[in-house]
Amino acid sequence: MSEESIISLKNVNKWFGDFHVLQDVNLEVKKKERIVVCGPSGSGKSTMIRCINRLEEHQEGSIVVDGIELTGNLKNIDNVRKEVGMVFQQFNLFPHLSVKENITLAPIWVKKMPKAEAEELAMRQLEIVKIPEQANKYPGQLSGGQQQRVAIARSLAMNPNIMLFDEPTSALDPEMIKEVLDVMVDLANGGMTMIVVTHEMGFAKTVADRMVFMDEGKIVEEASPDKFFNNPDSDRTKLFLSQILHQ
Amino acid sequence: MNEINQVRKPPVATTGIIGWFRINLFFNWTNSLITLFVIYCLYQFIPWILDWTIFSADFKYNYLGEQITNQEMCSRNLDPENGGACWAVIYVRFYQFIYGFYPKVEVWRVNVAYVMLAVALLPLLYTQLPYRKYFLYFTYIFPVIAYFLLNGGLGFTEVSTNKWGGLLVTLVLGCTGIALAFPIGIMLALGRRSKLPVISMMCTLFIEFIRGVPLITLLFFGMVMLPLFLPEGIDMDGLVRVLVAVTLFQSAYMAEVIRGGLQAIPPGQYEAAKSLGMSYWRMNLLIVLPQAIRISIPPIVNTSIGLFKDTTLVIIVGILDLLGIGRGTLADTNWLGLSYEIYFFVSLVFFIFTFGMSRYSLYLEKKLKTGINMGAD
């Protein structure tokens, strides 16, 4: 297991004003590894993954993604963002564009792909997320679960090496959570490197190679799912698990 | 068993024409009273206005059958009991109202420009237009063609802008002001929101300064002070100076309107665009501005209509637009006292253009809304 890390966070620190939101965070992610990050709200887990594609700027420490260090260098940032796909809690589809246009936009304008090829790609991605029949609708006409699947397809169309999921099912009605998780499980089985912030512990048990538990800006515990759920080291983890598993 | 297929219809009294009347005009007795009062007022007013503007009005000849050449010959001045409006003044001065003092031999150039303007607007107004792409190319080069057509050059005799007037000046100022202010306004709005402090401060300063000064002051500024800033020997055309002032003024307002739209775009849209690897300009051009402008259509049209009417202020720096020609005509002893007719005509022309813009914005709003639920996220 001496394989090179694809994502490496070293002593990352970040403040929002005076609030120390990330405190000496260290995380190594290997290629094809699936990490599930959990923790109470305000623990810095979203901020951490948003630092990985520079939607947030870290102030101390280093973040290296696929050999590219994230600094103020705009070129590096663009290159990292081409490697990393992201799925948001609020879907963030572009409401003025149809589903197909949402997916083809970045391949056409960022990757300079010919339109016909991009549309073919979009249809393939929609097949993968199982909603090809919605291609010509607008986001506002879709259910939350469908919108989130379009968002996943939109990210995948850029052919990323790494996918970040920021609480992808938290804004969904309960009966739509499964359809999104199913797509994510397929993706994990296909060998995608994934970092998923979620409270879906069932999902975590099925796909995670490693669990990361954060609290108050620190990584409190890092363990295999088996150890994490059955025999965690820290009392904070035990308390958290007892609370969310007895909902 | 049949009941399942039966569709229950709403009660007759709430739908259709009768329902509409009942709900909107005669809902209760105060409502009915107001309706009757309004009908009575319309009954009094409409016949009178129709009589004055059309049935008893002079168009070219008075009631004696003579062709009218001055105000004394108007029917209402010959026989105050008998006459309505005296539109002959518009008829006689029509050329000035539409072209100003543009030489008669060259006036076909203005007519061609008017027709071309209509053609250039077509692809903007009708997105379903066949061969729209080629029409749009024409729209882009139209300003250049219009410049040479109206001003001269490229084989056309030069017609100095002090001979321009009337509707020609109104349209040149209005269209150029609106068309130039739109892109400048977008840049200013983006600039003001920029994270680079120098750019943001410069844009804010510009917007606040221009917006804080009356248009009349800017017009004087353009007329008197702009030449001082130019290198010696370069003389700037009077109309161009006014155009600069009008465009700057409109840009500042447009910038604030578009900034309002930009602020309504949720941060998630920017984040999604960035996470897909889009650069600042791509993100703004493809994701943010299309949505922001869509939201801002009503205020954009509002300020554009405002500018179109504000062009009448150029009269104070000696440029005769449509209203200016009207006032000039009024000062002519031949046509003294015909202010009703002249102001009515000028108002009507302005109303036709501004009402057109307002209708167009409604059409646009409706069209862009179809199938899109902007508030979904």
CA A205/CA A211 separation, integer angstroms:
9
Give the residue-averaged pLDDT of B329-348: 88
CA distance B16 to chain A (A): 30
Q: What is the pLDDT of residue B76?
A: 81
Q: Over the range B343-374, which residues count as b (16 or more CB within 10 Å of their CB) and which as e?
A: ebbbeebbeebbeebeeebeebeeebeeebeb
Topology (CATH level 3) of domain B92-102+159-368: MetI-like fold (1.10.3720)
Residues A65, A9 contacting (CB under 8 angstroms): no
Report the percent of chain B where pLDDT is more than 70. 95
Q: How many interchain CB pairs under 8 A, A with B?
A: 82
Q: Do B374 and A109 touch (CB under 8 A)?
A: no
Q: What is the pLDDT of residue B375?
A: 42
> What sign results for the dihedral spanned by CA atoms B283, B287, B288, B289?
positive
CA distance B144 to chain A (A): 31
CA B256/CA B208 separation, integer angstroms:
10
pLDDT digits (tens, 9 = 90+) for B119-176: 998 888 887 888 888 888 898 888 888 888 888 878 778 888 888 888 999 999 999 9
Written as six digits, the tokens of A213 are: 């538990």
Helix, strand, or coil here: B153? strand
CA A247/CA B365 separation, integer angstroms:
47
CA A149/CA A166 separation, integer angstroms:
14
Q: Please name which of A16, A7, A15, A1 lies closest in space to residue A62, comparing C-alpha atoms.
A: A7
Examine the pLDDT at B371 and tell me if it is beyond 50. Answer: no
B275 contact residues in A (CB cutoff 8 A): 53, 55, 81, 84-86, 155
CA B170/CA B152 separation, integer angstroms:
19
Q: What is the pLDDT of residue B377?
A: 37
What's the CA angle centered on B70, arms B68 and B74, to 5 degrees? 60
pLDDT confidence band for A211 (50 / 70 / 90): very high
Q: Please name which of A51, A40, A38 lies closest in space to residue A8, comparing C-alpha atoms.
A: A51
CA B155/CA B148 separation, integer angstroms:
9
CA distance A130 to chain B (A): 22
Written as six digits, the tokens of A138 are: 């607008």
Q: What is the pLDDT of residue B171?
A: 92
Examine the pLDDT at A17 and tell me if it is beyond 70. Answer: yes
pLDDT confidence band for B7 (50 / 70 / 90): confident
Q: What is the pLDDT of residue A51?
A: 93
Give span(s): CATH 1.10.3720.10, chain B: 92-102+159-368
Higher pLDDT, B185 or B133: B185
Helix, strand, or coil here: B363? helix
Give the residue-averaged pLDDT of B326-339: 86
Residues 6+ apart with CB under 8 A from A239: none
Q: For A185-199, A225-239, B54-68, B267-281, which range has the lowest pLDDT when averaged over its residues? A: B54-68
DSSP letters, chain A, are --PPEEEEEEEEEEEETTEEEEEEEEEEEETT-EEEEE-STTSSHHHHHHHHTTSS--SEEEEEETTEE-SS-HHHHHHHHHHEEEE-TT----TTS-HHHHHHHHHHHTS---HHHHHHHHHHHHHHTT-GGGTTS-GGGS-HHHHHHHHHHHHHTT--SEEEEESTTTTS-HHHHHHHHHHHHHHHHTT-EEEEE---HHHHHHH-SEEEEEETTEEEEEE-HHHHHHS-S-HHHHHHHHHHHT-
Q: What is the pLDDT of residue B205?
A: 95
pLDDT confidence band for B269 (50 / 70 / 90): very high
B144-151, long-range: CB < 8 A, 24+ apart: B145/B113, B145/B116, B146/B113, B146/B116, B146/B117, B149/B109, B149/B110, B149/B112, B149/B113, B149/B116, B150/B109, B150/B110, B150/B113
CA distances from A203 to A38, A57, B169, B356 (A): 12, 29, 69, 58
Q: Do A154 and B276 touch (CB under 8 A)?
A: yes
Q: What is the pLDDT of residue A247?
A: 53
Side chain identity, residue A40: P
CA B76/CA A65 separation, integer angstroms:
87
Examine the pLDDT at B252 and tell me if it is beyond 90. Answer: yes
Examine the pLDDT at B372 and tell me if it is beyond 70. Answer: no
Q: B295: part of which helix (H) or strand (E)?
A: helix B289-310
Q: For A121-135, A142-156, B18-32, which range has the lowest pLDDT when averaged over its residues? A: B18-32
Instruction: Determine the distance from the C-alpha atom of residue B22 to the mean position of all C-alpha atoms in its chain, rounded to a whole number.
Output: 38
Residue of B nearest to A171 (CA): B377
Residue B22 backbone phi and psi in degrees, to 5: -65, -45
Residue of B nearest to A99 (CA): B372
pLDDT digits (tens, 9 = 90+) for A42-83: 899 999 999 999 999 999 999 999 888 988 888 889 889 988
Q: Please name which of A162, A133, A161, A130 lies closest in space to residue A148, comparing C-alpha atoms.
A: A130
pLDDT confidence band for B28 (50 / 70 / 90): confident
Q: For A119-128, A216-225, B74-83, B135-144, which range has the lowest pLDDT when averaged over its residues? A: B74-83
Q: Do B282 and A109 touch (CB under 8 A)?
A: yes
Examine the pLDDT at B198 and tell me if it is beyond 80. Answer: yes
Beta pairing partners, A86: A164
Give the residue-averaged pLDDT of A1-18: 83
Q: What is the pLDDT of residue A1?
A: 38
Q: Do A88 and B377 touch (CB under 8 A)?
A: no
Q: What is the pLDDT of residue B239?
A: 86
DSSP letters, B41-94, are HHHHHHHHHHIIIIIT-BSSB-TTSPBP-SGGGSHHHH-TTT---BTHHHHHHH
Facing residue for A90 by CB, picked from B287, B294, B377: B377
Residues B313, B215 contacting (CB under 8 angstroms): yes
DSSP B9: P
Facing residue for A106 by CB, picked from B278, B290, B374: B278
Instruction: Determine the distance from the C-alpha atom of residue A133 to the mean position of all C-alpha atoms in its chain, rounded to a whole number.
Output: 26
Is the pTM of the predicted complex or chain greater than 0.90?
Answer: no
CA distances from B94 to B14, B60, B98, B101, B332 (A): 51, 12, 6, 11, 15
pLDDT confidence band for A244 (50 / 70 / 90): confident
pLDDT digits (tens, 9 = 90+) for B60-97: 887 787 888 888 778 787 877 777 888 888 888 889 89
A88 contact residues in B (CB cutoff 8 A): 268, 271-272
Which residues numbered 268-307 in B keep a CB inside 8 Å of some CB on A?
268-269, 271-279, 282, 286-287, 290-291, 294
Residue of B nearest to A75 (CA): B279
Written as six digits, the tokens of A113 are: 């792909």
Give the residue-averaged pLDDT of A4-28: 92
CA distances from A3 to A6, A29, A30, A31, A162 (A): 9, 10, 7, 8, 16
Higher pLDDT, B223 or A150: A150
Mean pLDDT over each residue of chain B, to the nearest integer? 86
CA A197/CA B213 separation, integer angstroms:
53
A158 contact residues in B (CB cutoff 8 A): 276-277
Q: Do B279 and A96 touch (CB under 8 A)?
A: no
Written as six digits, the tokens of A98 are: 């149809």
What's the CA angle centered on A221, arms A217 and A227, to 5 degrees? 155
Q: What is the pLDDT of residue A4?
A: 78
CA B30/CA B266 separation, integer angstroms:
46
A53 contact residues in B (CB cutoff 8 A): 274-275
